[in-house]
Amino acid sequence: MRTLTLNRPHRRNAIDGALWIALAEALRAAADDRSVRALVLTGAGGAFCSGADISVPDNSHPVHRMRPLTDVAALLHELPLPTVAKVTGPAFGAGWNLALGCDLVLATPESTFSQVFTKRGLTMDLGGSWLLPRLVGMQQAKRLALLAETIDAVQAHDLGLVTWVVPAAEIDGCTDELAARLAAGPPVALAQTKALLHEGSDSTMHRALAAEARAQGLNLATADAPEAYAAFAERREPRFTGRWTVHRPPIRPATSENGR
């Protein structure tokens, strides 16, 4: 398990240009490190992330200014391992979309959420325009985006935008337990499952079936499926590694033409 902590508590972890670049580099490093089996994203000092830091003027072209945000959103979405957002305190604007980009979200009763963009004269970024309608439907997405309301963790949970709400005193332990469960899972199967779900949201049934067949072929070429079967038969927990192994059928002895 690896934890990435946004560490600008004096700005409620608002992300400036340097932190966007550092976050992208950290996500690339996690994707390339096979020892990392689950990723937790959180913030320091009782906040998750209050969004992009707009307090410092930036005179660069908007296209260049947006590129680091786009990189982070794409890297997080495509990360081939399960991700958990541990949200304490506010998650506003790009900060909320950063949490929504994770596979699972834990929050506390004190957590608050807002698609604050229109209050700043801006539009949604960090994938929010893609994520929200798929998570809550178009009408609720428009409500959250157009009105820029602040909602609490219970409301977010009711809308399906938070997976679990746990007491603040328990969130560290709950996050660690969840990450450990994910890290113990079959890495190839988890990566393929995540990719299938993402691709399926924009796909047809026939394309989804073809993608599932391809993914299952990859799973069956690892040691994890036989290990799962053996563990079930032996009544123990499986030990998944994601190790690649080709299961070849036994070679039959050669026979002569007349030896049928």
Pairing mode, strands 112-114 and 150-152: antiparallel
Rounded CA-CA distance 18/221 in Å is 41
Q: Tell me what pLDDT residue 141 has.
A: 97
Where does residue 162 fall: left (phi above 0), alpha (psi -120 to 50 degrees), or beta otherwise? beta
The pTM score is 0.88
> Whose structure tokens read 């900060």?
95
Q: Tell me what pLDDT residue 140 has.
A: 97
Where does residue 160 fall: left (phi above 0), alpha (psi -120 to 50 degrees), or beta otherwise? left
Q: How many C-beta neighbours within 10 Å does residue 39 have?
A: 25
Whether the CB-CB separation of 141 and 117 falls below 8 Å is answered with: no
Whether the CB-CB separation of 44 and 7 falls below 8 Å is answered with: yes
Q: How far is CA 23 from the centre of its chain?
A: 14
- Residue 199, classified by CB atoms within 10 Å of its CB into exposed (0-12), middle (13-18) or buried (19+), is middle
Q: Tell me what pLDDT residue 16 has.
A: 93
CA dihedral 188, 194, 196, 202 (to 10 degrees): -160
Q: Tell me what pLDDT residue 206 has.
A: 85
Q: Tell me what pLDDT residue 250 has.
A: 53
3-class SS of residue 211:
helix
Q: Tell me what pLDDT residue 260 has.
A: 42
3-class SS of residue 202:
coil
Across the chain, which has 260 residues, the per-10-residue mean pLDDT values are: 96 94 97 96 96 81 82 96 97 97 98 96 93 95 97 98 98 97 96 94 83 84 88 91 73 51
